[in-house]
Chains A and B, each alone.
Chain A
Amino acid sequence: EIVLTQSPGTLSLSPGERATLSCRASQSVTSRLLSWYQQRPGQAPRPLIYASSTRATGIPDRFSGSGSGTDFTLTISRLEPEDFAVYYCQQRDTSPTFGQGTRVEIK
């Protein structure tokens, strides 16, 4: 099983600041099978990024993804109030797994 470890666990930032979230895999993940999801409180997750760097439909361009192999990054260039949420990475290279999530909270 590929274990995904996200860091930091919690990111405390102010609106307008830049957020950088990390997702590290225990073994190499095919980039086209790595995706990111946002989950707001009480809501279902929604897709943000797929194939490591492609924004899902309707996702604003302040969200970007990068990385390859075992290290992947989600960047939010300027935080908007609605971006304060929990973010998960997921791989489907082998039996699907998710990271433990990074909570982006208002500082």
Chain B
Amino acid sequence: EVQLVESGGGSVQPGGSLRLSCAVSGFSVSRSYISWLRQAPGKRLEWVSDIYSGGQTYYADSVNGRFTLSRDNSKNMLYFQMNSLRVEDTAVYYCARLFTGSFWYLDLWGRGTLVTVSS
């Protein structure tokens, strides 16, 4: 089955760290473009980060320098290391496959994992 499954969410205090995982099945992460997005309670979706098939990573200004996206091709997994967490990072985090070519869009989404940053 072609799917992405996020895990690793939970509760953490401000300033803490958390590592999210995205397990991919049915296609290869090494040949794919993957995005991370988040949605704070009652808020709009927000793009957070991309990793391209060539390994290039891109980040939203709000997380640049604090979050790091990586992948393990042998395990077909992606990892999202989140450091120096802030209350405003509280959200459901989704990984999604980015279809690229003549047009770009998120064609396959995971179910998401909840991150709560609170003292």
Q: What residues of chain A have their CB less than 8 Å away from a CB belonging to chain B?
A: 32-33, 35, 37, 43-47, 50-51, 54, 56-57, 88, 90, 92, 95-101
Contact = CB atoms under 8 A, between A and B. Distances in A.
A45 B45 CA distance: 9
Interface of B: 35, 44-47, 60, 94, 99, 102-107, 109-112
Nearest to B58: A95
A44 B60 CA distance: 21
A32 B102 contact: yes
Contacts, number: 56
Contact of B110 (A32, A37, A44, A54): A44
B100 to A, nearest CB: 9
Contacts of B102: 32, 51
A50 B103 contact: yes
Contact of A92 (B44, B46, B104, B112): B104
Given A90-B45, A101-B44, A51 B103 contact: yes
15 contacts: A32-B102, A33-B103, A33-B104, A45-B45, A45-B106, A50-B104, A56-B107, A57-B107, A90-B45, A90-B105, A92-B105, A95-B47, A97-B47, A98-B44, A100-B44
Contacts of A32: 102-104
Contacts of A100: 44
User: 8 smallest A-B Cβ distances: which pairs?
Assistant: A50-B105, A96-B47, A35-B105, A51-B103, A32-B103, A44-B109, A98-B45, A100-B44
A57 B108 CA distance: 11
B47 A47 contact: no
Contacts of A37: 45, 106
B46 to A, nearest CB: 7
B96 to A, nearest CB: 8
Contacts of B94: 44-45
A2 to B, nearest CB: 12
Contact of B45 (A47, A56, A57, A88): A88
